[in-house]
Amino acid sequence: MDDFRNKLARFMYGRYGTDQLNTALLVMYFLLLIINVFTRLIIIDILMWSVFIWTVFRTFSRNIYKRQKENRIFLNYWNPVKSEILLSARRLREIQTHRFRRCPQCKTVLRLPRRTGKHLVRCPRCQNRFHVRIII
Ligand SMILES: [Zn+2]
């Protein structure tokens, strides 16, 4: 087992490995796989294999700088989407106790206790004061 591990480590030496973009590509591959089970379209097949080949290519690539650059570009798009998803999940989780409002000046999301009525709120980031109405 150790011998296999050493061989694998030697093989992967100087190669890129995996990153967030590769994980996203694998998720995309499995989604396409599921879609393909129901639709059986040739275009989905081609897309699926392209994604898979690209993922394998990226994993074993020796051009680490270029793969990191691709990952950075991907993260520039993915991180805002991810934080919106996490915020929405948190809003749902805390719907009984808190309300979330965006500061009109710096766009920071404020987590406010659920108290109905109109309140004057101070943003902790930019110190801007603004009115918030919590209806329910
Ligand atoms: Zn603010």
Q: Is the pLDDT at 13 greater than 80, yes or no?
A: yes
Tens digit of each residue's pLDDT (9 = 90 or more) over 22-48:
999 999 999 999 999 999 899 999 999
Q: pLDDT at position 23, please? A: 95
Query: Ligand 1 mean position to 67 CA, how many Å?
Result: 36
The pLDDT value recorded for residue 131 is: 95
Q: What is the pTM of this model?
A: 0.76
The total number of residues written for the chain in this structure = 136
pLDDT for the residue numbered 136 = 82
Mean per-residue pLDDT of the chain: 94
Q: Is the four-CA dihedral 27, 32, 36, 38 of positive or negative sign?
A: positive
Task: Give 89 Cα–ligand 1 centroid separation in angstroms.
Answer: 22
* CA end-to-end distance (rounded Å), the chain: 60
Residue 72 CA to ligand 1 center (angstroms) comes to 28
Share in percent of the chain as helix, strand, coil (round to 5): 60, 15, 25
76-102 pLDDT, tens digit each = 999 999 999 999 999 999 999 999 999
CA distances from 128 to 78, 101, 133 (A): 29, 13, 16
Residue 2 clears pLDDT 90, i.e. is over it: no
Q: How far away, in angstroms, is 127 Cα from ligand 1 center?
A: 6
Q: Which residues are close to ligand 1, an ion, with C-beta < 5 A?
A: 103, 105-106, 108, 123, 125-126, 128
